[in-house]
Every structure is written in structure tokens, then in C-alpha cells.
Amino acid sequence: MEDPEQIGFDDDLILFISSLLKKCKSTNSLILRQAFQFLPKFLVKFNYIFGPLLECLSLYTMYSRVN
């Protein structure tokens, strides 16, 4: 995840993170905290078009408010 340009299944990773957020309903997971540091790199890879990141970031925002 450190270099998204080398990943061909980035959509699957983002969907996985979204699924974890839906299941945990929290952003306190160590996996989620580590994964979210790489999301800006995915945004650059997508040429600053949110695409699949939109749901993931929406869920993160929603569940980070609950905590």
C-alpha cells in the first residue's frame, strides 16, 4: 500500500477498508489507522478524483464522529 502505482487491485483494498468500517462502526482499529495513512497516495493515483474513495472517506467521517 505504500506505493499505489504498483498495485493493480487498489479498488479491492478500498472496498475492504470500507467493509471494515461498516463492520466495526468505529475508527479505533489499528488496521484502519495504519491503512488511512495511505489514502492520500491513492487519491493522487486516481488523479484527485475520489471515485471509490468517496464511500470510504464518508464512512470514516461518520464513524469517527461517533467515537
Cut 0.75: pTM above it = no
| pLDDT at site 4 | 59
Q: Rounded to 5, what percent of the chain is helix, strand, coil?
A: 70, 0, 30
**Residue 35: alpha-carbon gap to chain centroid:** 7
Helix H or strand E segment including 34: helix 30-36
CA angle 36, 38, 44 (to 5 degrees): 125
pLDDT band at 46 (very low <50, low <70, confident <90, very high): confident
How large is the average pLDDT for residues 5-28? 82
